[in-house]
Amino acid sequence: MKEIMYVSAIAEATAEEMERDERVFIMGQGVEGGGSFKSALGLLERFGPERVRDTPISEDSVVGCAVGAAITGWRPIVQILFCDFTLRAMDQIGNQAAKYLYMTGGQMSVPLVIRTSIGIGANRAAQHSQSLEPMFQHFPGLKIALPSTPYDVKGLLKSAVRDDNPVIFIESFALYGTKGIVPEEEYTIPLGEADIKREGKDITIVAVSAMVPEALRAAEDLEREGIDAEVLDPRTLVPLDLPGIVRSIQKTNRLLVVEAGPKRGGVGAEIVSSVMEEAFDYLDSPPARLAVPNTPIPSAPQMEAFVLPNSASIAREVRRMLE
């Protein structure tokens, strides 16, 4: 085992998959110089410009080229600096990559990974701080991963690269500098397998991406008050490990979903509605959602902190639910 940074785990996973399969290549703005936040550091020197391709600032063109490469036998990894910029390429993502397998009767797969980041907690204002994962889960054919630890980001990225479907791989800017333990030997994490980050018996907190460490801090604070909270990280939204969430609720009988995007139409809405369909009889109280108000993310640090969920607001909501 070794301790590495979240961003280093991304670079390691990419290098290992490029070494394992010569069809894997990476493309994006600045990848020849190490990529966004140095997540492609050292790849150019190791694999050369044929497999580490710098691109213009044209997300629709870049993703379109990657889709074409994927359907002709390559396995591209596209790096898009911020998730907000994926909006420039939504025709290629939602109308092309997501639908090729279905429209060709299963004859043409799209083994494509689109790596991008959500910028909450960095004061990047309304156009660079959105959490767009709920938008992607609306498109059948796309898989969505949101790892919260170095261990998860490395294992999930390797699985995403090997998957024959397009995967939207969403990293959190707030987590790039965090550290964690990963095995020295190779490993993968299956897409669609949730992870219980902390065992508990009084309430299940389903936390997404950067909200996982906030939920863990809240659970520590609540423990001093005699409240035993379970923190579950779904790790992927599509496929969603609904059976894993239901098993946790069968133990705790309560559910709180925490996310860093707007509450309306968010991840929490999908998870809560699915739980109500599958596990209503196990709930002792109405499930709750904690999210950003229906407003753009402000640029001022104090205002951004005000609208984002944090450990204090999570703990406060848990107390309310247990009253």
Residues 6+ apart with CB under 8 A from 35: 26, 28, 41, 43, 79
**Residue that has been written with the tokens 């609208």 in this structure:** 307
Closest CA to 59 of 91, 32, 99, 37: 91
Cα–Cα distance, 147 to 25 (Å, whole number): 21
Spatial neighbors of 284 by CB under 8 A, at least 6 apart, are 253, 254
Q: What is the pLDDT of residue 69?
A: 98
- Parts of the chain belonging to CATH 3.40.50.970: 2-182
Task: List, in order, residues 6 or more apart from 72 with CB less than 8 Å away.
Answer: none
Predicted pLDDT at 120:
82
Which of these, 161, 169, 157, 164, lies nearest to 21 by C-alpha position? 161
* Amino acid at position 280, single letter: F
Confidence (pLDDT) at 122: 81
Residue 179 DSSP symbol: E
pLDDT of residue 121: 77
Question: Among residues 53, 75, 115, 128, which one is catalytic?
Answer: 128
Distance CA 315, CA 313 (A): 5
Token pair listed for 37? 């936040």
Phi, psi (degrees; rounded to nearest 5) at 111 = -80, 80
For every one of its 323 residues, what pLDDT tens digit does the chain have, with 9 covering 90 and above?
A: 999 999 999 999 999 999 999 999 999 999 988 877 889 999 999 999 999 999 999 999 999 999 999 999 999 999 999 999 999 999 999 999 999 999 999 999 999 999 999 988 788 889 999 999 999 999 999 999 999 999 999 999 999 999 999 999 999 999 999 999 999 999 999 999 999 999 999 999 999 999 999 999 999 999 999 999 999 999 999 999 999 999 999 999 999 999 999 999 999 999 999 999 999 999 999 999 999 999 999 999 999 999 999 999 999 999 999 99
C-alpha to C-alpha distance for 2 and 132, rounded to whole angstroms: 32
196-228 pLDDT per residue, tens? 999 999 999 999 999 999 999 999 999 999 999
Is the domain 195-322 a CATH 3.40.50.720 member?
no
| 5 C-beta neighbours (distance < 10 Å), count | 16
Instruction: Please list the residue range(s) of the chain that carry CATH number 3.40.50.920.
Output: 195-322
- Written as one letter, the residue type at 288 is A
pLDDT tens-digit readout, 90-132: 999 999 999 999 999 999 999 999 999 998 878 888 999 999 9
- Contact 166/142 with Cβ under 8 angstroms? yes
pLDDT at 71: 97
Distance CA 233, CA 240 (A): 11
Is residue 89 within 8 Å of 56, Cβ to Cβ? Answer: no
Q: What is the pLDDT of residue 209?
A: 97
Token representation of residue 244: 């894993």
Tell me the residue type at 298.
P
Q: What is the CATH number of domain 2-182?
A: 3.40.50.970
Annotated active-site residue 128? The verdict is yes
